[in-house]
């Protein structure tokens, strides 16, 4: 079909240019040229498939004085349907969200545009561990936002050093390299490991290798998808970055064999594979893998973007099944990563804050100009990061995740024994999943999530037939019992399509 909008625009430019040339000598002609130009461009808006709305709403404002906006109104959608249509029409289709439009959140609850309340059992993929809009985090963010938001790292700022001292003490490292998103932090860790391999370990130039695991998820950048084993993540995005070897997850024999290569710089691993469906390895896997890396002089790089910051019932999932009552006690189950990657809940979901932590002999390989980000370590992020971690500590969220998680898994195991819809439940702390008794290609898990949504609880399938459950860690016993009832009733009353 001829693109009407394009034709009209080309015509508009041609005509506009002609009249503008003439109008160098005539003001009335110039004014006429603008009118013609605007009419043509705006006319194309009306000819388009999705006409600009003309509804006047109290919370809208018009920006029509700019020719390319042509009287368009910026307004808040008034219904969920309206909001979904806007996203569908104007946004890239790189996600497939559940049909619910969230408008407000507080603690474990979120509300849609129509005011229906839900329990959030995804927590923005474990970013909102501290609960939605935690007042302490929001205050830290808004107070700092009114004072100074961004300096770039071209200058010092009065917040960053304080945050760096706090976050390194909190996790027990010499240094932190602040970034924004999880994927950026993973990229940072990869660069640090490669640089360490050349500068310290003595790997020949461009030979450094990083070992990763099958079914990993570390983000979506070109380098990161280069070592993904998920065809959807990789398909159509080659050529891929070299220098990675993929071994099976939870396989110490495979790791031992891979570590024999003297050019290995690091082993990049998720202590529990969240995106893969809360793939929970043997209890001693992380400790043993850490020991193998130490023996081979290879950096043990833990991606705790999803598992970290109390989600699994310990401050870090590399703490294993710890029983710390308060602050991290460094129990025998703890494997201190050489390079620790954090993101998501480092801000409680308020702001993009990520970090890579390491001791001096490793972080020291990075010099000015070799890595950075305009927003990394900005004053708002620094204040948000401190507040988010204080909430974790002072509200004992690791301990709450541990006890609530035990109750949740017990209930899910009971449900699995009653319903042939569930194969099993797995997870640690409040990072859990149920495996649905159907193929990954089936719509059963999706349909079940839609039914749970209708009953007031939000969760999302991962890898087709697995449903992850990861509520905010501030969930109370009563709220947990209410959620278990919703899941039970939905599963037991569910009819397959
Ligand atoms: N690493 C892990 C383990 C993750 O789960 C994720 C996101 O889910 C990432 C990295 C990427 O984080 P981001 O989406 O903030 O880039």
Q: Output the DSSP codes for 437-468.
A: SS-TTSSHHHHHHHHHHHTTEE-EEETTTEEE
Query: What pLDDT, on the 0 to 100 scale, is given for residue 200?
Result: 98
For residues 425 and 416, is the Cβ–Cβ distance under 8 A? yes
Closest CA to 480 of 133, 105, 108, 127: 108
**Cα–ligand 1 centroid distance for 182 (angstroms):** 5
Closest CA to 452 of 438, 463, 436, 439: 436
Helical (H) or strand (E) element with 246: strand 244-247
Check whether the bond before 239 is cis (ω within 30° of 0). yes
Q: Are residues 483 and 416 in the same domain?
A: yes
Quickly count: other Cβ atoms within 10 Å of residue 441's Cβ.
Answer: 8
Q: Are residues 125 and 13 in the same domain?
A: no
Quickly count: other Cβ atoms within 10 Å of residue 228's Cβ.
Answer: 23
Q: Which residue puts its alpha carbon closest to atom 13 of ligand 1?
A: 182
Q: Which two tokens stand for residue 400?
A: 């709450």
Q: Which residues of 395-413 are buried (b: 16+ CB within 10 A; e: fewer)?
A: bbbbbbbbebbeebbebbe
Closest CA to 198 of 243, 255, 239: 243
Q: Are residues 375 and 414 in the same domain?
A: no
- CA angle in degrees (0–180, nearest 5) for 142-311-268: 105
Quickly count: other Cβ atoms within 10 Å of residue 238's Cβ.
Answer: 10
CA separation for the pair 225, 365 (Å, rounded): 25
CA separation for the pair 243, 227 (Å, rounded): 9
Q: Is residue 435 part of a domain?
A: yes
Q: Is residue 319 part of a domain?
A: yes
**Looking at 394, 419, 436, which one is the last position of a domain?**
394
Q: Are residues 365 and 423 in the same domain?
A: no
Closest CA to 354 of 305, 301, 300, 303: 305
Q: Are residues 313 and 169 in the same domain?
A: yes
pLDDT block averages, 10 residues each, the chain of length 497: 40 41 42 44 38 47 74 89 97 97 98 98 98 98 98 97 98 97 98 98 98 98 98 97 98 98 98 97 96 98 98 95 80 92 98 98 98 98 98 96 98 97 97 96 97 98 95 98 98 91
**Cα–ligand 1 centroid distance for 233 (angstroms):** 13
Q: Which residue puts its alpha carbon closest to atom 2 of ligand 1?
A: 218
Quickly count: other Cβ atoms within 10 Å of residue 285's Cβ.
Answer: 20
Helical (H) or strand (E) element with 142: helix 135-145
CA separation for the pair 494, 450 (Å, rounded): 11
- Measured from CB, residues less than 6 Å from any atom of ligand 1 are 125, 181-183, 186, 217-219, 270, 274-275, 303, 305-306, 343
**Looking at 350, 372, 394, which one is the last position of a domain?**
394
Q: Is residue 94 part of a domain?
A: no
Which mutation among 128, 182, 302 tests ligand 1's pocket best, with the greatest number of atoms within 8 A of CB? 182
Atom number of ligand 1 nearest to Cα 224: 10
CA separation for the pair 120, 359 (Å, rounded): 37
- The separation between the first and the last C-alpha atoms of the chain, rounded to the nearest angstrom, is 38
Q: Is residue 466 part of a domain?
A: yes
**Cα–ligand 1 centroid distance for 24 (angstroms):** 56
Tally the residues of the chain: 497
- What phi and psi, each to the nearest 5 degrees, are found at residue 442? -70, 165
Which mutation among 218, 279, 304 tests ligand 1's pocket best, with the greatest number of atoms within 8 A of CB? 218
Q: Which two tokens stand for residue 469?
A: 């459950």
Atom number of ligand 1 nearest to Cα 343: 15
For residues 161 and 169, is the Cβ–Cβ distance under 8 A? no
**Cα–ligand 1 centroid distance for 186 (angstroms):** 8
User: What pTM was computed for the model?
Assistant: 0.89
Count of domains observed in the chain = 3
Q: Are residues 71 and 27 in the same domain?
A: yes
Catalytic sites, residue numbers = 217, 303, 344
Q: Are residues 182 and 208 in the same domain?
A: yes
**Cα–ligand 1 centroid distance for 220 (angstroms):** 8
The domain of 69 spans 4-75
Closest CA to 225 of 162, 183, 267: 183
Q: Are residues 167 and 248 in the same domain?
A: yes
Q: Is residue 87 part of a domain?
A: no
Q: Is residue 156 part of a domain?
A: yes
Query: What pLDDT, on the 0 to 100 scale, is given for residue 58?
Result: 55
Q: Is residue 118 part of a domain?
A: yes
Q: Which residue puts its alpha carbon closest to atom 5 of ligand 1?
A: 306
**Looking at 394, 416, 447, which one is the last position of a domain?**
394
For residues 459 and 447, is the Cβ–Cβ distance under 8 A? no
Q: Is residue 497 part of a domain?
A: no
Quickly count: other Cβ atoms within 10 Å of residue 381's Cβ.
Answer: 29
Name residue 245's beta-bridge partners: 211
Q: Which residues of 173-188 are buried (b: 16+ CB within 10 A; e: fewer)?
A: bebbbbbbbbbbbbbb
User: What is the edge-to-edge ordering of all strands in the sheet holding 109-112?
Assistant: 102-106, 109-112, 117-120, 457-458
Atom number of ligand 1 nearest to Cα 304: 3
Q: Are residues 358 and 406 in the same domain?
A: no
CA separation for the pair 126, 411 (Å, rounded): 21
- CA angle in degrees (0–180, nearest 5) for 283-248-279: 45
Q: Are residues 12 and 54 in the same domain?
A: yes
Q: Are residues 123 and 241 in the same domain?
A: no
Which mutation among 124, 127, 183, 215 tests ligand 1's pocket best, with the greatest number of atoms within 8 A of CB? 183
Atom number of ligand 1 nearest to Cα 354: 15
CA separation for the pair 253, 260 (Å, rounded): 11
Q: What is the CATH number of the domain that holds 324?
A: 3.40.640.10
Q: What is the CATH number of the domain that holds 452?
A: 3.90.1150.10
Q: How far is CA 277 from the centre of its chain?
A: 15
Residues 6+ apart with CB under 8 A from 409: 425, 426, 427, 432
Q: Are residues 217 and 280 in the same domain?
A: yes
């Amino acid at each position: 079909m001829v693109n009407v909008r394009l034709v009209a625009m080309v015509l508009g430019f041609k005509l506009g240019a002609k009249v503008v040339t003439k109008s160098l000598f005539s003001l009335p002609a110039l004014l006429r040229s603008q009118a013609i130009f605007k009419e043509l461009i705006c006319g194309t808006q009306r000819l388009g498939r999705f006409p600009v709305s003309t509804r006047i709403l109290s919370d809208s404002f018009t920006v029509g004085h700019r020719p390319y906006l042509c009287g368009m109104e910026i307004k808040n959608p008034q219904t969920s349907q309206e909001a979904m249509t806007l996203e569908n029409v104007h946004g890239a289709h790189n996600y497939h969200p559940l049909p619910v439009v969230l408008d407000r959140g507080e603690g474990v609850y979120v509300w849609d545009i129509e005011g229906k309340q839900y329990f959030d059992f995804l927590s923005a993929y474990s970013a909102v561990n501290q609960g939605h809009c935690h007042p302490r985090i929001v205050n830290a963010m808004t107070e700092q936002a009114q004072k100074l938001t961004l300096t770039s790292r071209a200058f010092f700022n009065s917040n960053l050093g304080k945050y760096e001292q706090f976050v390194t003490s909190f996790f027990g490292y010499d240094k932190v390299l602040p970034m924004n998103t999880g994927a950026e932090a993973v990229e940072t860790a990869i660069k640090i490991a490669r640089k360490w391999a050349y500068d310290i370990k003595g790997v020949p130039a461009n030979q450094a290798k990083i070992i990763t695991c099958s079914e990993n998820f570390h983000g979506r950048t070109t380098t990161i998808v280069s070592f993904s084993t998920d065809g959807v993540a990789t398909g159509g995005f080659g050529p891929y970055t070299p220098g990675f070897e993929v071994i099976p997850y939870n396989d110490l024999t495979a790791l031992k064999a891979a570590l024999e290569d003297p050019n290995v710089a690091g082993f990049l691993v998720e202590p529990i594979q969240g995106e893969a469906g809360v793939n929970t390895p043997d209890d001693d896997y992380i400790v043993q893998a850490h020991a193998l890396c130490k023996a081979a002089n290879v950096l043990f790089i833990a991606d705790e973007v999803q598992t970290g910051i109390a989600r699994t019932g310990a401050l870090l999932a590399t703490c294993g099944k710890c029983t710390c009552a308060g602050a991290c006690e460094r129990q025998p189950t703890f494997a201190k990563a050489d390079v620790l990657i954090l993101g998501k809940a480092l801000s409680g979901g308020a702001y993009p804050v990520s970090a890579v932590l390491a001791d001096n002999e490793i972080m020291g390989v990075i010099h000015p100009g070799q890595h950075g980000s305009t927003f990394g370590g900005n004053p708002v992020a620094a204040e948000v990061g401190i507040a988010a971690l204080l909430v974790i500590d002072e509200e004992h969220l690791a301990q709450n995740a541990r006890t609530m998680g035990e109750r949740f898994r017990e209930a899910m195991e009971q449900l699995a024994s009653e319903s042939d819809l569930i194969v099993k439940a797995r997870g640690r702390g409040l990072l859990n999943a149920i495996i649905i008794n159907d193929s990954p290609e089936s719509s059963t898990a999706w349909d079940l999530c839609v039914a749970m949504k209708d009953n007031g609880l939000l969760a999302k399938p991962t890898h087709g037939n697995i449903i992850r459950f990861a509520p905010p860690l501030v969930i109370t016993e009563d709220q947990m019992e209410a959620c278990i009832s919703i899941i039970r009733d939905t599963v037991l009353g569910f009819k397959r399509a």
